[in-house]
Amino acid sequence: MVSPSLLPLEAPTPAHICPFDQTCSYLEQAARELQLDQGLLAILSNPRKVVTVSIPVKLDSGEVQVLAGHRVQHCDVLGPYKGGLRYHPAVTLREVSALAMLMTWKCALLGIPYGGAKGGIALEPAHYNIGELERITRRYTSELIKDIGPEVDIPAPDMGTSAREMAWIMDTYSMNIGHAVPGVVTGKPISIGGSRGRELATGRGVMIIVREALAERGKSLVGARVVIQGFGNVGSAAALLLHQAGAKILAVSTGSGGIFAEAGLDIPALKVYAVANSKRIAVPEAVPITNAELLTLPCDVLIPAALENQITHENVNQIQASIVAEAANGPVTLEADQALLAQGVTVLPDILTNAGGVVVSYLEWVQGLSYVFWDEERVNREMEALMVYAYRHVVQESKVRQVSLRMAAYTLGVGRIAQALTDRGLYP
C-alpha cells in the first residue's frame, strides 16, 4: 500500500480529472512492473518541496490584485530541478505537482541530468497588459529567490509564458544576486544567452517522434494527414515543421475554436497571420470547426498540443486517428488511454513526445556553462540524436515488457530514478 499523498486536496470542479492522481496511477503501474520497493514508491509519489506564494500586483487601473503562484520541486536526485512556468486560469497546486512529476520522468527518460519541477500562476494572461505581466513575473521571482538558481531550480517557458518572461526572471534574479546569472532560466532570448533552436524545439521534437513512429509503420511524413489542437508555442512549431516535411495539416485550433481545410492549411501563412493578429487563426481556404469536432476528425496523426484531459471517456470512441501524439502534457485521461489501446490507436506518450524543449533547454545550459554557443544546425542535430535514441529505447522496452509505449517510457524513467535513489541512499 502506497503512503497517501501529502499534497493538500483541492476542490474538484465538475467532471474535473485530477492530473496528479492520474500521474501517480501511472507511477504505481510502473512500480509494479519494476517490482519497486514500497518505500521508494512512497518517496516518488510525493514532491520534495512545494512552495505557494501570494503575488500582490497593482494594475494600471490602481486596483490591487493578489494572485496565487506555485513552484513544485518533485525530485532532484539526478541534478538541479528543471521545469516550465505556466500562466493559465486553471493552474492549481495539484496540476503543477503532476507536471513536476512528469518532468522528473521525462528528464530521466532522455538521460538529462536534471530533476523535475514546475511552476504556475493562476491567471489569464490576456487580461493583463505587458507592464502588469512584468510586475507579476518579477514579484513571483522575488518570492522564490531562494528556491531557484542555476544549480538549484531552472525555470523555462510553458503555457502562457515565453522567452519574454524568462528574460524578466533572469533580470530579477540577477539584480537580487548582484551580477548577471543567465543560467537561472532556459528558453531565454538569444541576446542574453538563449540557445538557437529553442523556440521551435518542443515542436521539432514532436515532429521527430511522429516521423519515427510513422517510419516504423512503413509510412512517411510526406502526405500524412495531421490534426493539431492548439496553435501556441508547441502546436504552431509542430505544424510548421510537419508541413515543411510534407505532411498535410488538416486542422488546427486555439481556445476559441479551430479551422479546417480538407486539402491542408497553408501553415506558414497561418503563422504570419497569428503573429500579426494577437494569436487568432484564419486563412482563406479554411472553414470553422469546434475543438470537439477537431479531435474526432479522420486523420493519420492527432496531436493534442493545448491542455490536459482533452481525450476522455466521453469522446475516446469517436477518435479516428491511427496515432495520438501527446505534445501537451496529460491530454489523454487514464480511462481514455486504456480505451485507445483497446481500439488499436498508438499513443506516443507526453514524457517522450514533448521532450524536445527540455532537451534544448539542457543544451542551452551546457552552452552557457562552457561559454561556447553553437549554430542552430548543431543544436538541432544534438537534440535529434537524443530524441531518436529515446524513442528507440522506449519501443524496445515496450516489446521486451509487452507494455504500452507510455508504460515503457515510465518504466525507463522511473527505473532510472529509483536506481539513482538507491545508489545515493536515504539521507540521513
Chain contacts with ligand NAD (rule: CB under 6 A): 84, 157-160, 202, 229-235, 253-255, 291, 305-307, 327-329, 354, 357
Helix runs in 78-121, H state only: 93-110
Smallest separation (angstroms) from ligand NAD to the CB of 310: 7
In Å, how far are 111, 305, 387 from 106, measured between CA atoms?
Answer: 9, 17, 11
Q: Which of 118, 219, 271, 399 is catalytic?
A: 118
- Please tell me the distance from the alpha carbon of residue 375 to that of residue 201, in angstroms, as a whole number: 14
Contacts of 201 (CB under 8 A, 6+ apart): 237, 356, 357, 359, 360, 361, 379, 383
Smallest separation (angstroms) from ligand NAD to the CB of 331: 7
- Please tell me the distance from the alpha carbon of residue 253 to that of residue 286, in angstroms, as a whole number: 12
3-class secondary structure per residue, 110-122: HCCCCEEEEEEEC
**CB of 80 or CB of 357, closer to ligand NAD:** 357
Contacts of 285 (CB under 8 A, 6+ apart): 261, 263, 265, 266
H/E element holding 302?
A: strand 299-304
- Please tell me the distance from the alpha carbon of residue 245 to that of residue 196, in angstroms, as a whole number: 20
**CB of 181 or CB of 234, closer to ligand NAD:** 234
Smallest separation (angstroms) from ligand NAD to the CB of 124: 10
- Please tell me the distance from the alpha carbon of residue 330 to that of residue 327, in angstroms, as a whole number: 9
Smallest separation (angstroms) from ligand NAD to the CB of 150: 19
Residues in the chain: 428
**CB of 182 or CB of 230, closer to ligand NAD:** 230
Phi, then psi, of 291 in degrees rounded to 5: -65, -35
Of the candidates 161, 233, 150, the residue with the CA atom closest to the CA atom of residue 185: 150
Smallest separation (angstroms) from ligand NAD to the CB of 294: 8
- Our answer to whether residue 118 is catalytic in this structure is yes
**CB of 155 or CB of 235, closer to ligand NAD:** 235
Residue nearest to ligand NAD (CB): 232
- Please tell me the distance from the alpha carbon of residue 370 to that of residue 162, in angstroms, as a whole number: 24
**CB of 67 or CB of 421, closer to ligand NAD:** 67
How far the first Cα of the chain sits from its last, in Å, is 24
**CB of 172 or CB of 291, closer to ligand NAD:** 291
Of the candidates 279, 272, 274, 315, the residue with the CA atom closest to the CA atom of residue 297: 315
Smallest separation (angstroms) from ligand NAD to the CB of 120: 10
**CB of 108 or CB of 418, closer to ligand NAD:** 108
Helix runs in 146-266, H state only: 163-177, 201-216, 233-244
Residue with cell 503555457: 159
Smallest separation (angstroms) from ligand NAD to the CB of 173: 20
Active site residues: 118
